A and B are shown apart, each in its own frame.
Chain A
């Protein structure tokens, strides 16, 4: 009357993506000890998982599903009476975990086609890419569109999920057309920790700018607000978001209650954010609830730029590259004219420059 054995994905495949290839029985079928109950596939091999005991099989996964090392994929019951909808629970947990990591799984066949045609995986909307997805993509890409009157052949690429999110987040305020940007040059300064192995950088100023911006937002709450249905909503906390767009799409890493943190803590959190971004380990919590954004393009020899305001915010600060001859860098502030105006933005940015240069 109970589950007597669990069948799990073995650890031998710890470095591989694993997905379910074949289920050999139907749910509730009686199976013998050592019977092969399902096949899992990695990019290198197909592996059959066996039942350790005789009993009745209950599968917790489906064919094509990506599974994780150690995940329970099937249960063996001693009788049919103990079947109780375990599958839904496990599937729900998997969905939550996948949302959390946003990892993309690729089957062996799909990977071969992707490599052969040198495709970008971000072109695929789904998180589990199968061979037929790539074949469909290639077929669609070769077609020449007739409906929009374009007469030059082109290759169409589907928007990645991150690009779709980005468009949604950035078009919200910008689409009003009531956005303006001001620019100021900041004198560069030697940062105290610049002499250590890792801190020499064009963006060494970012932690200090983040600190002073968070302090200044207490004095200028309209820049820590957003416009909503003809009212202005001021946030009660100051959570600076730092925008990264390195090679995995735009993500804004949020530092909760930034105004209450010392410089060293902000510095550590910024490093952690970049590290998690590169590792693709940013969680929804890490990128949620920022109330003001700083975007830093100083790595890319940018003289100045117009940053785009994120959804549910009223302003964004842009940091450009260091001009080494003049020893200064440009800082831009885009703001929502429905919430504030140019004079206030100028005072805000001027005060930020003073705080930064005199620190």
Chain B
């Protein structure tokens, strides 16, 4: 799980252009100023490209925080 957050941290850092970004399982959009709906779509695309998967858009949009995102990616990769 630590690895998944570290991987996502790298992706987020790149999308937000912030090398000092530090995610934890409780991080949500309200914690990151630049995290708006447009950046969010860039994030989804970047995560999909990194793991070579395609999400269900409606499902991923209902997630509450980075922890849920980690779990969601884990489930997707397990399938």
Contact = CB atoms under 8 A, between A and B. Distances in A.
B38 A204 contact: no
A268 B57 contact: yes
A197 B45 contact: no
A198 B38 contact: no
A268 B66 CA distance: 21
A201 B57 contact: no
Interface string B44-58: 110000000000011
B62 interface: yes
Given A272-B57, A299-B36, A198 B63 contact: yes
B69 to A, nearest CB: 7
A267 B30 CA distance: 19
Given A203-B37, A203-B38, A299-B38, A198 B45 contact: no
A272 B66 CA distance: 21
Given A196-B62, A197-B29, A271-B57, A278 B35 contact: no
B65 interface: yes
A206 B36 CA distance: 12
A198 B37 contact: yes
Contacts of B38: 201, 203, 246, 274, 299
B10 to A, nearest CB: 18
A278 B45 contact: yes
Contact of A278 (B29, B42, B61, B62): B42
A275 to B, nearest CB: 5
Interface residues of B, number: 23
A201 B36 contact: yes
Nearest to A299: B38
Interface in A286-310: 299
Contacts of B30: 195, 200
Given A196-B62, A197-B64, A275 B37 contact: no
Contact of A274 (B37, B58, B65): B37
A199 interface: yes
Interface string A194-225: 01111111111010000000000000000000
Interface string A162-203: 000000000000000000000000000000000111111111
Contacts of B42: 278
Contacts of B68: 197
A204 B69 contact: no
A201 to B, nearest CB: 4
A222 B13 CA distance: 47
Interface in A235-282: 246, 268, 271-272, 274-275, 278-279
Contacts of B9: none
B21 interface: no
A196 B57 CA distance: 14
Interface string B1-42: 000000000000000000000000000111000011110111
A200 B36 contact: yes
Contacts of A199: 29, 37, 61
A272 B57 CA distance: 7
A322 B28 CA distance: 20
Contacts of A200: 28-30, 35-36
Contacts of A279: 45
A196 B36 CA distance: 12
Contacts of B69: 197
Nearest to B66: A197
B61 A275 contact: no
Contacts of B60: 198
A271 B45 contact: no
B41 A275 contact: yes
Given A271-B37, A275-B57, 11 more contacts: A197-B61, A197-B69, A200-B35, A200-B36, A202-B37, A203-B38, A268-B58, A271-B41, A274-B38, A274-B41, A278-B45
Interface of B: 28-30, 35-38, 40-42, 44-45, 57-58, 60-66, 68-69
